[in-house]
Amino acid sequence: MLQVNQLVDEFEFEVKAGHGGLNKEITDYSLKRPGAELMGFLTYLTPKRIQIYGRTELGLIQQFDEAMRRERLARVMVPEVPCVIVTRGLPVPVELLALANERNIPLLTTHRSTTRLFSLLIRYLTNRLAPSMLIHGVLVDVYGVGVLITGESGIGKSETALELIKDGHLLVADDAVEVRRVDEENIRGTAPSHIRHLLELRGLGILDVTLLFGAGSVRDEKDIHLIVHLEEWQQGKMYDRLGFDPPQTREILGIAVPEITLPVRPGRNMASMIEVAVMQQRLRGYQAGYRPRLAPINKNNI
C-alpha cells in the first residue's frame, strides 16, 4: 500500500493544501495532465490518477475568468483524486488551493520540471504498485541473464549460487525472492531488505557476500529471464538427453518464463550446468530472431 504522505517524504514535496487527505491511498501508477478535462472533455478523466499541473495546465487556467476557473477545476478536482502536484515551483491559483482544502485533496509543489517529474514518478510508482509475490528460491545474474533457481529445501540452491558467485556471477537474492511485474513482458526480482546480500549455507551459517567477495559480487534487483528447477535424480524418470523436447515455461504473475529442470546427483556440477543452460537460452533467443541486450559472456566484464 502506498499513501500520499509516503510520496511526499520520498520526493520532498511541499504540501500547500489538502492536509486532511495525506493518508489517501495511491492505487494507479499512471499520471494525468488534465488539459483536455479543463477544456470540458471529461470522458477520460480517470480520477484515481495523480494529477500533474505544469506551465501548460496553469496557463490554460489563467485564460478563464474567476468563475469559469472554479467551475472547470471543480469538475476535475473530484474527491477520488489522490493528490495534485504543481511543477517548476509555479504559483498556485487560489481556486486550486480552495478546492484542495474543501475536498481534502493534497496539493503538492516541486521545483522539478514536469518532464523530469513524470520520469521519476512513473519509475517509482511502477515499482511500488506493480503486482508482486514472494518465491522460495535463489536469484542470480549469470552472464547478464536473471536466473531464478528453485527446488525443495536442502536440494543445494544456495550452494550452487555460491559456486556461481565464485565464478564471477552476481547474487541478487537467497532463500526468498520478492518478484514484481514491472510491465506487460517483464518480471523483476529482489531480496527482502533484511536478507539483502546474505547467503545461508548449512554448516557455515549466514554469510555476507559483499564482505567475502566484494561489492561487485551482488546487485539489488534483476529481471528474471530463466527458471532452473533443481530436483533429486529419480531413477527411471526420462530426462531430456537430446535437446529435442519442447521448451517448458512457468507462469509468474501472468508472464510465461522459460523453465528447465536439472536433476541433482553426486558428481554433477550444477553451477557449470546452469552456465551452459544460460548460454543455450541466449542462443535460442538469437536463433528465434530475438536480440536481447545482455552482457557479453566474459567473466572478466561481470
The annotation status of 154 as a binding-site residue, yes or no, is: yes
Evaluate whether 189 touches 178 at the Cβ level (below 8 Å): yes
Q: Are strands 132-136 and 176-181 parallel, antiparallel or unpaired?
A: antiparallel
Burial category of 267 from C-beta neighbours within 10 Å (exposed 0-12, middle 13-18, buried 19 and up): exposed
Indicate if the alpha-carbon torsion angle 43, 44, 48, 53 is positive or negative: negative
- The one catalytic residue in 112, 174, 175, 225 is 175
Q: Which residues contact 148 (CB under 8 A, 6 or more apart)?
A: 135, 137, 138, 139, 177, 189, 224, 226, 227, 228, 257
Q: Is 241 a catalytic residue?
A: yes
Q: Is 157 a catalytic residue?
A: yes
Evaluate whether 180 touches 131 at the Cβ level (below 8 Å): yes
Measured at the alpha carbon of residue 268, what is the angle toward residues 206 and 223, in degrees to the nearest 5? Answer: 55
The annotation status of 151 as a binding-site residue, yes or no, is: yes
The annotation status of 155 as a binding-site residue, yes or no, is: yes
The annotation status of 187 as a binding-site residue, yes or no, is: no
Where does 29-175 show beta strands of DSSP type E?
Answer: 31-32, 50-53, 84-86, 107-109, 132-136, 138-142, 145-151, 170-173
| Cell triple for 21 | 487527505
- The one catalytic residue in 24, 72, 112, 157 is 157
Q: How far apart are CA 231 and CA 272, in angstroms?
A: 16
In this structure, the number of other CB atoms found within 10 A of the CB of residue 124 comes to 15
The annotation status of 35 as a binding-site residue, yes or no, is: no
Supply the Cα-derived Rg of the chain in whole angstroms: 25
Query: Annotated binding residues for Mg(2+), as ranges?
Result: 158, 200
Residues with a catalytic annotation lie at: 136, 157, 175, 241
Query: Annotated binding residues for ATP, as ranges?
Result: 151-158
Query: Annotated binding residues, as ranges?
Result: 151-158, 200
